[in-house]
Amino acid sequence: MKIGFLGAGNVTRTFGRHLINAGHTVVVSNSRGPETLADFVADLGPGAVAGTKEQAAECDVVILAVHWVKVREALKGADWRGQILIDATNAHVDPKPDISLAGVTRSRAALKGRTSSEMVAEMAVGARLVKSISNMPMAWIQDFSPNKPRSVLFTSGDDANAKQLVIELINSTGLVAIDLGSLAIGGAMHEVGAPLSGIDLHFVRRLR
């Protein structure tokens, strides 16, 4: 599967490598153009290419991986109708995310009772939006070996088929996706500052 990334930061560097190790291809884009990404994609290795935002947005699945303050600009100009878009952002209102209690409290207050992914869905009109790959720091899943922990990435969305595809994509990497339901209900459980945010859980077995 070909996966496009909007943004070239820690999420792309980490989850992109998990995807490549699982046999997927990634297209990395940023706001400055593909010519600035040569070293980044070389570090990711074979299976990664630099592209424009438009090229990334045309992939089988697109992962939004920019700071919250850059989300609107990153989504602008693309036709998202029918596209599976994974929201891997966390709604930090400061240009440099403030993960202190005060910073997280301020960021959550700015959402005014809504989930951040519902707001992203309104910016990416027509996208089949799935919230995932955002409930833990990427430093926690930088073991790329075959025997890495089966870390849990929570997933929520309103399009059942899109969500199932994202779950299968995450599971293909050796990590484990857990479905928490809709954007409104599930998203509220694993976005920044929520009860299931910032918790390192490892999947052991399923009882049924």
Closest by CA to 192, choosing from 116, 95, 94, is 116
Is 206 in contact with 177 (CB distance < 8 Å)?
no
Task: Quote the percentage of the chain above a pLDDT of 90.
Answer: 75
pLDDT at 194: 83
Task: Tell me the C-alpha distance between 106 and 175, whole Å.
Answer: 31
Q: What is the CA radius of gyration of the chain?
A: 16
**Which tens digit of pLDDT belongs to each residue from 83-129?**
999 999 987 666 676 666 665 666 566 666 678 888 899 999 999 99
Q: Is the pLDDT of residue 10 over 70?
A: yes
pLDDT in tens, 36-47: 999 999 999 999
Distance from C-alpha of 88 to C-alpha of 135, rounded to nearest angstrom? 9
State the DSSP string of 100-113: SHHHHHHHHHHTTT
Residue range 55-84: mean pLDDT, rounded: 94
- What is the distance between the alpha carbons of residues 173 and 47, in angstroms, rounded to a whole number? 14
Encoded tokens for 206: 């399923």
- Burial (CB < 10 A; 0-12, 13-18, 19+), residue 208, is exposed
Tell me the residue type at 150.
R
| pLDDT tens readout for residues 138-171 | 999 999 999 999 999 999 999 999 999 999 999 9
